[in-house]
Amino acid sequence: GDSVTQMEGPVTLSEEAFLTINCTYTATGYPSLFWYVQYPGEGLQLLLKATKADDKGSNKGFEATYRKETTSFHLEKGSVQVSDSAVYFCVRGSTLGRLYFGRGTQLTVWP
Amino acid sequence: DTGVSQNPRHKITKRGQNVTFRCDPISEHNRLYWYRQTLGQGPEFLTYFQNEAQLEKSRLLSDRFSAERPEGSISTVTIQRTEQRDSAMYRCASRGTLQETQYFGPGTRLLVL
């Protein structure tokens, strides 16, 4: 069935380290792809999105490229900060609009 | 603050009781979604409204669960005869017709004792 698989956490990094959170999806067609983030004590927020193949979404230093060949949408950041500590969700869209979420990856960044 | 509000933020109830919680979407958004999230999992789709019409409902939902959006704005979810397995965070999201981004409320955390 359709699903989103993302790297299991938790991920613990030192400040200024490079971050990659892997995400792959299965779907018929070419759905929009998103990364949502949940900071401690807050609700879900859109971090970035890409709507078609080869699109690169970016925001707050985070990037993810829509790769249809590998059905992937990996999240990257070159230099993480303590304030990036949160749970990150890889998400796939659908024709009717419902979202399919991965399980989430907990990121903790230490100073 | 995304502009989507939910209340109550927390609800504790005893098994067998009925509960209702509410979502106020962004006013110009005609599409509204409900999701349920349990510990260690991502949110899971429950149901979807376009205006007042409920267009999709997850096959996983029990018949104790109902949702409505009678005037195409505020939506409520009611769970009858709650069970411990209903304990979860219930999240509401809204979006406009031409948007793909869904804006989430803060969620209602339900605990069934």
- Return the pLDDT at B61: 83
Residue A34: its chain B contacts at CB < 8 A?
101
| Closest-approach residue (CA) in chain A for B58 | A98
d(CA A66, CA A31): 10
| A99 near B CB under 8 A | yes
- Return the pLDDT at B110: 97
Q: Report the half-sphere exposure of B30 (CA within 13 A, side-chain side).
A: 8
- Return the pLDDT at B98: 81
Strands (E), B16-104: 19-24, 31-37, 44-50, 53-57, 65-68, 75-79, 88-95, 103-104
In this structure, what DSSP letter does residue A67 have? B
Nearest to A85 by CA among A23, A14, A35: A14
Q: Using omega within 30 degrees of 0 as the cis cutoff, is the peptide bond preceding A10 cis?
A: yes
Res. A2 pLDDT band, cuts 50 70 90? low
The amino acid sitting at B25 is P
Res. A41: pLDDT tops 90: no
- Return the pLDDT at B1: 78
Residues A52/A45, Cβ–Cβ less than 8 Å: no
Res. A3: pLDDT tops 90: no
- pLDDT per residue over A45-101, tens digit each? 999 999 999 999 999 999 999 999 999 999 999 999 999 999 999 999 988 789 999
- Return the pLDDT at A16: 96
| A40 near B CB under 8 A | no
d(CA B30, CA B28): 6
| A69 near B CB under 8 A | no
Interface of B with A (CB under 8 A): 2, 31, 33, 35, 40-45, 48, 55-56, 91, 93, 95, 100-107
- Return the pLDDT at A62: 98
| Closest-approach residue (CA) in chain A for B48 | A98
Residues in chain B with pLDDT values less than 70: none
Res. A104: pLDDT tops 90: yes
